[in-house]
A and B are shown apart, each in its own frame.
Chain A
Amino acid sequence: MELSPALSAKFEKLQNSYPVKRSALIPMLMYAQDEYGCVSDEMIAEIGRQLDLNNVQIEETLAYYSMLHRRPWGKHHVQICTNVACMLKGGNELLERAKRRLEIGHKETTADGVFSLEEVECIGACTGAPAMQVNYDFYENLTPLKFDRIIEELDAGKHPAPEPVISGALHERHELETPLISRRWGMKDSHKIDVYLMQGGYKALEKALKEMTPESIIEEVKKSNLRGRGGAGFPTGMKWSFVPKDTPKAKYVICNADESEPGTCKDRPLMEMDPHQLIEGMVIAGRAIGSHQGFIYIRGEYRYVLDIVDGAIAEAYERGYLGKNILGSGFDFDLLVHTGAGAYECGEESALMESLEGKRGYPRIKPPFPAVVGLYGCPTIINNVETLSAVPSIIREGGDAYASRGTPKNGGTRMLCVAGHVNRPGIYEVRLGMNMKKFIYDVAGGIPDGKKLKAVIPGGSSCPLLTADEIDIAMDYDSVAKAGSMLGSGGMVIMDEDTCMVDMARRIMHFYAHESCGWCIPCREGTTWLRKTLERFHAGMGCVEDIDMIADLAKNMLGRTFCPLGDAAAMPTISIMKKWRGEFEDHLRGRCPYKSAGALVGSR
Chain B
Amino acid sequence: MAEQKLIKLKINEREVQVPQGTLVIEATRRMGTEVPSFCYYPGLSLQAACRMCLVEVEKAPKLQTACTLVATEGMIVRTDTEQVRQARKYMLEFLLTNHPLDCPVCDKGGECELQDMVFRYGADSSRFVEEKIHRPEEKWSELVYYDAPRCILCFRCVRVCDEGMDVKALGVGMRGANSVIIPNRQDHLECEECGMCIDICPVGALTSGTYRYKTRPWEMAYVSTVCTHCSNGCKTTLSVRNHEILRSNNRDLSGINGDFLCVKGRFGFDFTKHVERIRQPLVRKGDRLYPVSWEEAALAAATKLKAAYDSGGKDAIGFIGSNRTSNEENYLLQKLARTTFGTNNIDHHRTADYTGLITALGERAGDSLLTMEQLYQSKAVLLVGNDPTTQNPLVGWQIRSGIRHFGTKLFVINANEIKLKRRATQFVKVAAGQEAVVLRWLAHEEGQLAPELVEQLVQLKAGLEAESDVAVVFGAEISGAAIATLVAFGSKLPGKTRYLVLGDYANSRGAADMGVLPDRLPGYAYVGSPHAHTSFEELWSCGPIPPKLGLTAPQMVEAAQAGKLKALYVMGANPLAHFGTLGLGRGKLDLLIVQEMFLTETAQMADIVFPATSAYEKDGTVTNTSGEIQMLRKGAEVMGPRSDFDLLRILSHQLEKLGLGKAFHYKNPAVVFEEIRKAVSGYNVQPAGLLTGGAEATRVEFARNGHVPYDVPVGLIRPAKDTLFTSGTLGRFCTMMESLPEAKA
Contacts and interface: CB of A to CB of B under 8 A. Distances in A.
B173 A521 contact: no
A524 B179 contact: yes
A513 B94 CA distance: 14
A64 B130 CA distance: 25
B49 A562 contact: yes
A110 B153 CA distance: 36
B50 A56 contact: no
A299 to B, nearest CB: 16
Contact of B176 (A57, A515, A556): A515
Given A513-B176, A518-B178, A560 B62 contact: yes
Interface string A495-526: 00000000000000000011111111110111
B78 to A, nearest CB: 16
A70 B47 CA distance: 29
B223 interface: no
Nearest to B130: A532
Interface string B224-255: 00000000000000000000000000000000
Interface in A49-92: 54-57, 59-60, 63-64
B745 interface: no
B708 interface: no
B684 interface: no
A533 B127 CA distance: 11
A520 B65 CA distance: 12
B176 A524 contact: yes
Contacts of B128: 529
Interface in B158-173: 168-173
Contacts of B175: 63-64, 343, 360, 516-518
A521 B49 contact: yes
B51 to A, nearest CB: 5
Nearest to B155: A519
B182 interface: yes
A536 interface: yes
A514 B176 contact: yes
A60 B91 CA distance: 26
Nearest to B87: A560
A60 B173 contact: yes
Nearest to A525: B94
B63 A513 contact: no
B184 to A, nearest CB: 4
Interface in B424-477: none
A95 to B, nearest CB: 21
Contacts of B168: 54, 56-57
Contacts of A560: 51, 54, 62-63, 87, 90-91
A190 interface: no
A448 interface: no
A520 B48 contact: yes
Contacts of B17: none
A522 B153 contact: no
A60 B177 contact: no
A525 B49 CA distance: 12
Contacts, number: 117
Contact of A521 (B91, B171, B182, B184): B91
A60 B172 contact: yes
A522 B90 CA distance: 8
A521 B50 contact: yes
A520 to B, nearest CB: 5
A289 B97 CA distance: 47
Contact of A525 (B46, B47, B48, B95): B95
B68, B177, B184: which has the most chain A beta carbons within 10 Å?
B177
Interface residue range, chain A: 35 or more
B98 interface: yes
B186 interface: yes
A135 interface: no
B87, B130, B131, B169: which has the most chain A beta carbons within 10 Å?
B130
Contacts of B714: none
B97 A525 contact: yes
Interface in B176-221: 176-179, 182-186
A528 B175 CA distance: 12
Contacts of B584: none
B98 A365 contact: no
A63 B173 contact: yes
B173 A559 contact: no
A525 B130 CA distance: 12
B360 to A, nearest CB: 40
A439 B86 CA distance: 43
A63 B94 contact: no
A540 to B, nearest CB: 15
Interface string A364-392: 01000000000000000000000000000
Contacts of A545: 127
B174 interface: yes
B361 interface: no
A17 interface: no
B173 A59 contact: yes
Contacts of A528: 97-98, 133, 176-177
A383 to B, nearest CB: 25
B172, B175, B184: which has the most chain A beta carbons within 10 Å?
B175
A392 B172 CA distance: 42
B501 interface: no
B152 interface: yes
Contact of B46 (A365, A521, A527, A533): A365
Contacts of A145: none
B184 A522 contact: no
B48 A56 contact: no
A63 B174 contact: yes
Contacts of A54: 168, 184
Contacts of B52: 521
B179 A518 contact: yes
A536 B86 CA distance: 27
A60, A532, A561: which has the most chain B beta carbons within 10 Å?
A60
A526 B174 CA distance: 17
Contacts of A527: 176-177
A365 B63 CA distance: 15
Contacts of A9: none
Interface in A518-553: 518-522, 524-529, 532-533, 536, 545, 549
A285 B88 CA distance: 43
Contacts of A516: 175-177
Interface string B79-104: 00000001100110011011000000
B94 A60 contact: no
A56 B50 CA distance: 23
Contacts of B172: 60, 63-64, 360, 518
Nearest to B178: A518
A529 B94 contact: yes
A521 B50 CA distance: 5
Contacts of A517: 175-176
A271 to B, nearest CB: 26
Given A63-B182, A562-B51, A521 B177 contact: no
B171 A518 contact: no
B127 A60 contact: no
Interface in A17-67: 41, 54-57, 59-60, 63-64
Nearest to A549: B127
Contacts of A532: 130-131
7 contacts: A56-B170, A56-B184, A525-B94, A528-B133, A529-B128, A545-B127, A560-B90
Interface of A: 41, 54-57, 59-60, 63-64, 343, 360, 365, 513-522, 524-529, 532-533, 536, 545, 549, 556, 559-562
Given A60-B182, A519-B49, A560-B54, 6 more contacts: A59-B182, A365-B48, A518-B174, A521-B94, A532-B130, A560-B90
Interface of B: 46-52, 54, 62-63, 68, 86-87, 90-91, 94-95, 97-98, 127-128, 130-131, 133, 152-153, 168-179, 182-186
* A-B pairs with lowest CB-CB distance, top 7: A60-B171, A518-B179, A532-B130, A525-B94, A528-B177, A56-B184, A56-B171
